[in-house]
Amino acid sequence: MFFSLNELVQWLGLTVFELWINLISLCVFSVLVTLRTEGITDQSPDTWWIVFSPLFIADALNAYFCTIVLIRMYLEAMYKVAFLRVLWSFCFLTTIFVFEFLLCKKLSGQSSLEYSEVLSPVFILLQLMAVRACQLH
């Protein structure tokens, strides 16, 4: 029923450290969204950028970590693996960041995009993950 840690690492292409960063940022984000929607914090449109800031920080930390892993793999002469990992990480981080950015702009009223357009990076990421899962088996 539930995925094991090894299956998540293989299918998502993330390390355990990256999963922890994302999990912690999602917990902080959940608290901030709750405070924002319940009216406990300021209700101005600019507060959505503060609410989404843990997710943006997590994306930056993951990109930094991926850069360090790329450099280490390159120094160990693992060129093909390093290239495939950086390609996947770039696609993953880019689609997640674009989704978060578009959703934040939509919620703050700075964009007139439809929600189907905002969710399009998630659909692309799900297709990439499906292809990756099929290649692993």
Q: What is the pLDDT of residues 15-65, one digit of tens each?
A: 899 999 999 999 999 999 999 999 888 788 788 999 999 999 999 999 999
The domain tally of the chain equals 1
C-alpha span between 3 and 18 (Å, rounded): 17
Q: What pLDDT is attached to residue 1? A: 66
* Single pTM value for the model: 0.88
Q: What pLDDT is attached to residue 137? A: 63
pLDDT 10s digits, 78-119: 889 889 889 999 999 999 999 999 999 999 999 899 999 999
CB 49 within 8 A of CB 33: no
Helix segments in the chain, DSSP class H: 5-12, 16-37, 47-75, 79-107, 115-118, 120-136
The closest of 128, 120, 117, 53 to 92, measured between CA atoms, is 128
Q: Is the pLDDT of residue 69 over 80?
A: yes
Range of the domain at 44: 5-136
- Cβ partners under 8 Å of residue 133, min gap 6: 11
Share above pLDDT 70 across residues of the chain, in percent, rounded to a whole number: 98
- Report which of residues 66 and 135 the model is more confident about: 66
Q: What pLDDT is attached to residue 121? A: 96
